[in-house]
């Protein structure tokens, strides 16, 4: 029997799926140079190949909303992914500065080793060290919190504005398990609870393309601020590490209207990159 995600939503809950993808490799990633926000480097040839591989993996997933950082490496990744996605071909990509990478100030364009030297001279360690002109981790987390709450409020508002019985007439059907086949077919979770595909029925399915350090701080916000706990089979080092280029994480979010700061979060996968197995590339480039 095929694995599926079981989610029976109470009528007063809003729920959505959130897929987060890091951008593909750039020359700066390969050479271990910091990009941050000030270096707007495009994807390398390998980076485009990684984005195409992610696009193939997600090609049958029907997204209702797509958001991307407005930096070129994220924009190119999002566009490449969506070119392969026929179920979502009419969905517009929304570019948002809140999804940008952490700002590294004077360290941007410098080797990662130089950032570590700067941190040591200041009596600090990476990644908590903030170079002159850079963002603190708290500032990055505040951006992640702001954007996540924006997504939650958007889904709640859209859900309450559309009569559920008239979703089809309004031109948008509910998201079901059929729309999540890559994650369902590759997930080992909840197999004992697997029932009919209709058990999964969500209000929205959101794709978000962003950056390594930003995504790590987003996950830390989930864990430390929202008290989210990962499944026991995921090691902590993997949970809070920087995602490889085009690494994919997938979450199911449920919340009550008026309580967007208290969501229920379930992780389906974190930083997965098996879609890159056939690429002749080193997926361990974690430099932002």
Q: Report the binding-site residues.
A: 22-29, 73, 101-104
Confirm whether 101 is a catalytic residue: yes
Strands (E), 7-87: 14-22, 65-68
- Identify any residues that bridge with 249 across adjacent strands, giving them in sequence order: 20
Confirm whether 285 is a catalytic residue: no
Cα–Cα dist 14/252, whole Å: 11
Strands 201-202 and 175-176: antiparallel
Contact yes or no for 245/29 (Cβ under 8 A) = yes
Catalytic option among 23, 65, 211, 273: 23
User: What is the sign, positive or negative, of the torsion defined by CA atoms of 210, 211, 213, 219?
Assistant: positive
Cα–Cα dist 249/212, whole Å: 12
Catalytic option among 31, 52, 89, 101: 101
Cα–Cα dist 89/68, whole Å: 16
Cα–Cα dist 134/40, whole Å: 16
- Identify any residues that bridge with 251 across adjacent strands, giving them in sequence order: 18, 267
Q: How many CB atoms lie within 10 A of CB 11?
A: 5
CA angle 187, 192, 193 (to 5 degrees): 90
Strands 14-22 and 204-210: parallel
Which residues are annotated binding-site positions for substrate?
A: 22-29, 73, 101-104
Contact yes or no for 225/262 (Cβ under 8 A) = no
> Which residue in the block uniquely carries the two structure tokens 């430099």?
287
Residue 34's Cβ-count burial label (10 Å; 0-12, 13-18, 19+) is buried
Name the residues annotated as catalytic: 23, 101
């Amino acid at each position: 029997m095929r694995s599926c995600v079981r989610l029976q939503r109470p009528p007063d809950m809003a729920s959505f799926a959130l897929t987060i993808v890091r951008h593909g490799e750039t020359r700066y990633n390969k050479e271990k140079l910091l990009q941050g926000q000030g270096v707007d480097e495009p994807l390398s040839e390998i980076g485009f190949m990684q984005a195409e591989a992610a696009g193939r993996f997600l090609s049958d997933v029907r997204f209702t909303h797509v958001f991307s950082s407005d930096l070129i490496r994220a924009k190119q990744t999002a566009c490449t992914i969506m070119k392969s996605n026929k179920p979502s071909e009419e969905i517009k990509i929304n570019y948002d500065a809140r999804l940008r990478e952490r700002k590294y100030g004077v360290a941007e364009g410098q080797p990662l080793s130089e950032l570590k030297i700067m941190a040591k001279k200041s009596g600090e360690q990476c990644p908590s060290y903030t170079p002159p002109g850079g963002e603190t981790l708290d500032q990055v987390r505040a951006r992640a919190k702001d954007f996540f709450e924006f997504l939650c409020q958007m889904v709640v508002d859209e859900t309450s504005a559309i009569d559920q019985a008239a979703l089809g007439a309004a031109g948008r059907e509910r998201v079901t398990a059929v729309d999540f086949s890559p994650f369902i077919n590759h997930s080992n979770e909840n197999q004992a609870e697997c029932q009919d595909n209709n058990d999964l029925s969500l209000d929205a399915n959101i794709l978000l393309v962003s950056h390594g350090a930003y995504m790590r701080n987003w996950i830390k916000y989930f864990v430390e601020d929202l008290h989210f706990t990962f499944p026991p089979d995921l090691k902590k080092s993997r949970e809070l590490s920087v995602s490889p280029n085009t690494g994919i994480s997938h979450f199911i979010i449920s919340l009550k209207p008026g309580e967007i700061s208290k969501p229920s979060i379930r992780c389906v996968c974190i930083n997965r990159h098996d879609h890159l197995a056939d690429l002749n590339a080193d997926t361990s480039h974690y430099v932002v």
